[in-house]
Amino acid sequence: MKILYYDCFSGISGDMNLGAMIDLGVPEAHLRTELSKLGLDDEFRLVVARKQKMGIEGTKVDVLLTHETTEHHHEHDEHHHDNHTHDHSHSHPHEAAEIHDHHHHAPHAHNHDPHSHNQAHEHAHAHEHAHTHHHHRNYPDIVAIIENSTLSERIKHDSTEMFRRLAVAEGKIHGKPVEAVHFHEVGAVDSIVDIVGAAICMAALAVDAVQSAPVETGSGFVKCAHGLMPIPAPATAEMLKGVPMVSKVHGKEMTTPTGATILNYYVEHYTMERQFKIEKIGYGLGTRDMAIPNVLRAFIAETDTAETKQWMIEANIDDMSSEMLVFASDRLFACGALDVFMTPIVMKKGRPANMISILSRQHDLEKLEQILFEETTTIGLRKYPVEKRMLKRSFDELETPYGVVTIKRAYLNGVCVNAKPEYEQCKTIANEKGISLQRLLKEIEMLIK
């Protein structure tokens, strides 16, 4: 089983997560192309660079707000925002029921000493800037931006659900309905890039499960415009309910609301028992200089047992056409279903029907259930956990007379027991070359060693 494991020994923020994902192998060009689908290219610029933190090389991601870059570049060299520097000298999302997630006074030029200014001064500046710059975007505005994009349905769902959870947490703290929770314009752009970017990267990595170590939150208090706030900040604490936390770093806020939201949505299991084989390691860099490296470390790993607990969702349907069921299946696959299949059954009074079965990860359950109700006529479903065992897999590229084809191999006790070309790739080649798919598959199978 392929897993993503977060090692949050120095906390997590949205930008550090993006850096770790790129470092793990998500192509930077892919992230940029997908973010462009939001239609916000004129509002921000993504800066990605290879840097070092305490001798550890990794990827540093910054979001520069293009409408402010020229006018306020020098000013914000002195007063930069935190969530993209992980410096945590910022205002908190605790005033006027607005979600700022440390995002409301940027164009994020990060070339100075993060400890060169008094925190109180920086928080006061952030608060003043937040209330004198541009309009606000509320939760429905941000959902509309995402839904009106050309992103995949899975990425749209994951992104809007993360924003919903964050808005619910903020609304609870401030006693406001979700619709009344506002994001300052500057903060909203950063939050959108971080959260939608996380969904894009997760889809690209295509892992079977996400796990994490206990989360370093920091401890003590941090000074904001309206006084001292406890660490973890209220929104962060809401998002980390039920999550094992540690607080070895005193006087610093190490995990931001956006970082906590990403963990809240994707992580299925928290553990320090790393019973897996590491395949890749990624480092997302922060800016702060501390006694420990200010980095988020993430692993792509294979579990030794290749066993995982997943969920089966089922429903019996006797009043839908096969075409409509195929459409429902396509939507389910697009939103993360691991498998969807139909079984012909006979219901009471001899009525013929189909049982639709959907194999799901834990964190995809809610959205897949919603799609099942939206796209089929069922008025009820059943679900139950299942244990899945998979053979170890590898993907190799094979040179053929028709071009490069990906070969998927399966191994049992270290011995290859199955090898076959990727069907969709072969179908595309057959159409492009105007040859029989059956002939193409036979020729490729002869080349497979």
Q: What is the pLDDT of residues 386-410, one digit of tens each?
A: 987 777 777 777 888 888 888 888 8
* Sheet hosting strand 182-184, strand order edge to edge: 98-99, 182-184, 136-138
Number of domains in the chain: 3
Mark out the alpha helices in 206-343 (DSSP H runs).
Answer: 234-239, 257-266, 322-334
430: Cβ–Cβ under 8 A, 6 or more apart, which residues?
436, 437, 440
Two structure tokens written together for 41? 């290219």
Whether 260 and 363 map to the same domain: the answer is: no
Please state the rounded mean pLDDT for residues 13-21: 96
Please state the rounded mean pLDDT for residues 405-432: 87
* Angle, vertex CA 111, rays to CA 107 and CA 112, nearest 5: 105
Whether 19 and 139 map to the same domain: the answer is: yes
Q: What is the pLDDT of residues 110-124, one digit of tens each?
A: 333 333 333 333 333
Distances (CA, A) of 408 to 15, 301, 428: 34, 18, 17
Predicted local distance difference test score (pLDDT) of residue 305: 53
Task: Please check the confidence at residue 85 and state whether its pLDDT lies above 70.
Answer: no
Q: What is the pLDDT of residues 205-223, one digit of tens each?
A: 988 889 999 999 999 997 7
Using CA atoms, how far apart are residues 13 and 263, in angstroms rounded to an integer?
10
Whether 220 and 351 map to the same domain: the answer is: no
Phi, psi of 202 (to 5 degrees): -60, -40
Domain that holds residue 222: 2-303
Please state the rounded mean pLDDT for residues 317-333: 92
Whether 222 and 74 map to the same domain: the answer is: yes
Whether 245 and 327 map to the same domain: the answer is: no
Whether 134 and 86 map to the same domain: the answer is: yes
Share of the chain above pLDDT 70, in %: 81
Domain end position, chosen among 366, 389, 412: 389
Whether 207 and 126 map to the same domain: the answer is: yes
Domain end position, chosen among 303, 334, 353: 303
Using CA atoms, how far apart are residues 311 and 368, in angstroms rounded to an integer?
11
Domain end position, chosen among 372, 389, 406: 389
Please state the rounded mean pLDDT for residues 155-177: 89
Whether 282 and 311 map to the same domain: the answer is: no
**Residue 294: strand, helix, or coil:** coil
Predicted local distance difference test score (pLDDT) of residue 90: 36
Task: Please check the confidence at residue 164 and state whether its pLDDT lies above 50.
Answer: yes
Whether 345 and 410 map to the same domain: the answer is: no
Please state the rounded mean pLDDT for residues 264-293: 91
Q: What is the mean pLDDT of the chain?
A: 81
Q: Which CATH number belongs to the domain containing residue 419 in this structure?
A: 3.10.20.300
Predicted local distance difference test score (pLDDT) of residue 362: 81
Predicted local distance difference test score (pLDDT) of residue 404: 83
Whether 441 and 403 map to the same domain: the answer is: yes
Predicted local distance difference test score (pLDDT) of residue 213: 95
Whether 293 and 425 map to the same domain: the answer is: no
Task: Please check the confidence at residue 71 and state whether its pLDDT lies above 50.
Answer: no
Using CA atoms, how far apart are residues 87 and 42, in angstroms rounded to an integer?
26
Predicted local distance difference test score (pLDDT) of residue 92: 37
Whether 297 and 359 map to the same domain: the answer is: no
Q: Which CATH number belongs to the domain containing residue 365 in this structure?
A: 3.30.70.1380
